[in-house]
Amino acid sequence: MTLGTANAVLERWNALDPAEAVRQVLPCCGSHAWADSLAARRPFASSAQLFAASDDIWSGLPEREWQEAFDSHPRIGQQHAKAASAESLKWSSHEQREAMSQDHAMRAALAEGNRRYEAKFGRIFIVCASGKSAAEILGILERRMENLADVELREAAEQQRQITQMRLRRWLGVE
């Protein structure tokens, strides 16, 4: 199936009542405002339209809505989050599987990096971890520790956008 055509999941989702549509798509992002807005824009004729609408909505959300999405992720190397659905946690575990399989020293380095990041920026470190090793993620974290707060917020938001797009694809079965 190409990204420009509708699929069965999207067609079913288009037909749901608004509350159920929000519930089903929320694990893809974690922001209720994003999920509400995406559901309100239905119906989508194609997955490409859905992906574009997702990006448009995400870029227009205020920082507090970004923070709600960030809070739906576990720290790198962990399996619980401040506020996440079971589906979101399952996806996070899948996305972080490369980082989770590392040795004790690497896990300790990631935990320390997470702690320093949170102390500096006041939120967890968000990175699109899929396919990245723990060493790669630690390198990204160290590089981003050099960012100014406003630059890092935009980087975290971009990482969340990438995660959302990946999860939407997984949800639709168009990975």
Active-site residue list:
73
| DSSP assigned state of 127 | -
**By C-alpha distance, which of 37, 46, 38, 33 is closest to 6?**
46
Beta bridge partners, 81, equal 74
**By C-alpha distance, which of 117, 174, 173, 171 is closest to 149?**
117
* CA dihedral of 50, 53, 54, 56, whole degrees rounded to 10: 160
Residue at token pair 């960030």: 70
Q: Where are the beta strands (DSSP E) in 54-149?
A: none
Chain centroid to Cα 21, Å, comes to 18
